[in-house]
Amino acid sequence: MFRGTGIRPFFYACSDTSFSLQQPELFAQAMDLSQRVALWEEHARTIPIQPRGELFLLKKAPRQTWKELLLKSNSDLVRPPLLSGNRSRTIGFSKNLELGFFDARTVAYLALQLAYHAGFDTAILVGVDLSPAQGRFYETPDSFKSPCGLDQHLQSRILPSLKLMSDKVMGKDFAVYNLSPTSRIPTSIIPNISLDELGKLVDR
């Protein structure tokens, strides 16, 4: 969406290693336009085109140990209570991506962690409908359509991760709003904002 605008995205994040093969033209444009690019290390080594901007290598946040839980260390890695054998072990929010990030099966969640890591105090979700039926804005009837796992992971990973962020990260130091009027993210987790309200927020 930034083509021809003169805008260079502050960060482009790609956590899907197959995207560069499925959408090579779009991926190449992102590598050329973006001031910074976040990629898995293995992905960065194998792509045919290197980013023009700064490269940030992604890694998964390590699993929490019982010692860390008891000592309440690693406060930059926000997690739910450690429950043995529970999926919550893979859910969290990273305030410092040097330590790793949590993959909630949507790149939007990586973007939110990047925003916090970079020092922003407000993030606006744009186009995060989480509805596969609506398709992606860059896909056409004739173009290749990348596989989508939103329905599969919505209840098990995506919404629990956003709920954790809402409960334990969002507040006076970090606000998140959703611009989409048709998003599957409940407003009890991330409040909606209108274009008029967003304009006032930017003006302030």
Per-residue pLDDT of the chain (204 residues; tens, 9 = 90+): 888 899 999 999 999 999 999 889 999 999 999 999 999 999 999 998 999 999 999 999 998 766 666 666 678 999 987 654 455 568 999 999 999 999 999 999 999 999 999 999 999 999 999 987 776 777 677 766 666 667 788 989 999 999 999 999 999 999 999 999 999 999 999 999 999 999 999 998
Going by the DSSP 8-state scheme, the letter that residue 35 receives in this structure is S
CA proximity to 148, closest of 7, 32, 19, 35 = 19
* 110: in domain: yes
* 196: in domain: yes
- The alpha carbon torsion through 122, 89, 183, 176 (nearest 10 deg) reads -10
* 176: in domain: yes
**Structural domain for 108, as ranges:** 59-203
Number of domain units in the chain: 1
pTM value > 0.75: yes
* 30: in domain: no
* 6: in domain: no
* 26: in domain: no
